[in-house]
Amino acid sequence: MNPLLECVPNFSEGQNNETIKAIAQEIRKIKGVELLHIDSGMAANRTVYTFIGKPESVIEAAYQSIKLSSKLIDMRTQIGEHPRMGACDVCPLIPISGISMEEAVILSYQLAKRVNSTLNIPIYLYEESAQVTERKHLANIRKGEYEGLAEKMTQPNWQPDYGDKFNAKSGATIIGARNYLIAFNFNLNTSDVSIAKWIASSIRESGKNVTDASGNSVKVPGLFKDLKAIGWFIKDFGIAQVSCNFSNYKETELHEVYEAITLLAHQKGVKVTGSELIGLIPKEALLAAAMYFDSTETDETKLIDIAIDRLGLSDLNDFLPKSRIIDYMV
């Protein structure tokens, strides 16, 4: 089996079309790589690229795209709704077939070292590549975002894994090998972001801090394992969203979270109008949701249509399975 590695770098630019196109072209230049999808958000000011190919080619494409972003994106003036630390904010490597997670981790170290040594961009390692437990989760590393990065780098526990000098223009990049992640946003029929934030804190694994009867702050875990969630307002559509990352979609499934958010939203007097996929999704994740909603259907095409309809995946933009389901594209 020919080894296939996927890379899903997130760049802190979703408004300048010339920059977005230039990064895409830089990825396409590399032989042995297929750029599968580009997902940009104006309000988030962020673009997610999904490409796949031979491991050595994917690493080269990742490096070249990060290099170009360091020239085109200036974090000193970048503003957006999405949390971020750098021009290339995060660059995950995902083993698809014929390559082990251990091999992907080694490649992440090679990429991290090269980016730091040649571009002077400090690197934090996360997920399976993390050297310390606190850095396994992306949100822990990104806390404080770009604005707090210079000070954070001076803290003994938060010095980068590669590099020790603050890069004012490019910020820092987070690199690591991880399992397949689904980025999935749930749309609410309200602009009240406090409701979205309350729902997010109720469902995410890390939960929220509450004050007990004695006045002490106590951490209350959320409803779902392997789920990260934040609430935000999307100016593009004038709505609040619960933005979720499913780091293990087989452990915590789409329909489970959809149903929970629907119930929590109802408690606040609002509704879930639909959802939005960022990037691509494995077919089995949608099939599992469809079979939850309709256990009698067996035809795959009809099941996909059921999932799209019941999850409201065409609420904001038309959802086209052939260009959003990774199994069909690969």
Strands 173-177 and 88-97: parallel
Which pLDDT score is estimated for 1?
63
Report, as an integer, the average pLDDT of 230-253.
94
Q: Rounded to whole angstroms, how far apart are CA atoms 63 and 76? A: 22
Report, as an integer, the average pLDDT of 102-124.
98
Structural domains in the chain? 4-177 (3.30.990.10), 182-329 (3.30.70.670)
Per-residue pLDDT of 188-221, as tens digits, reads 999 999 999 999 999 999 999 888 888 888 889 9
Nearest to 220 by CA among 231, 204, 196: 204
Per-residue pLDDT of 36-81, as tens digits, reads 999 999 999 999 999 999 999 999 999 999 999 999 999 999 999 9
Q: Rounded to whole angstroms, how far apart are CA atoms 180 and 96? A: 8
Buried b (16+ CB within 10 A) or exposed e, 174-206: bbbbbbbbbbbbbbbebebbebbbbbbbbbbbb
**Per-residue confidence at 35, pLDDT binned at 50, 70, 90?**
very high
Nearest to 193 by CA among 143, 227, 243, 144: 243
Q: Could you tell me how far CA 205 lies from the centroid of its own chain? A: 16
Q: Which residues are catalytic?
A: 82
**Which string of DSSP letters, residue by residue, matches 19-30?**
HHHHHHHHHHTS
Answering whether pTM is above 0.85, one says: no
Per-residue pLDDT of 261-311, as tens digits, reads 999 999 999 999 999 999 899 999 999 999 999 999 999 999 999 999 999
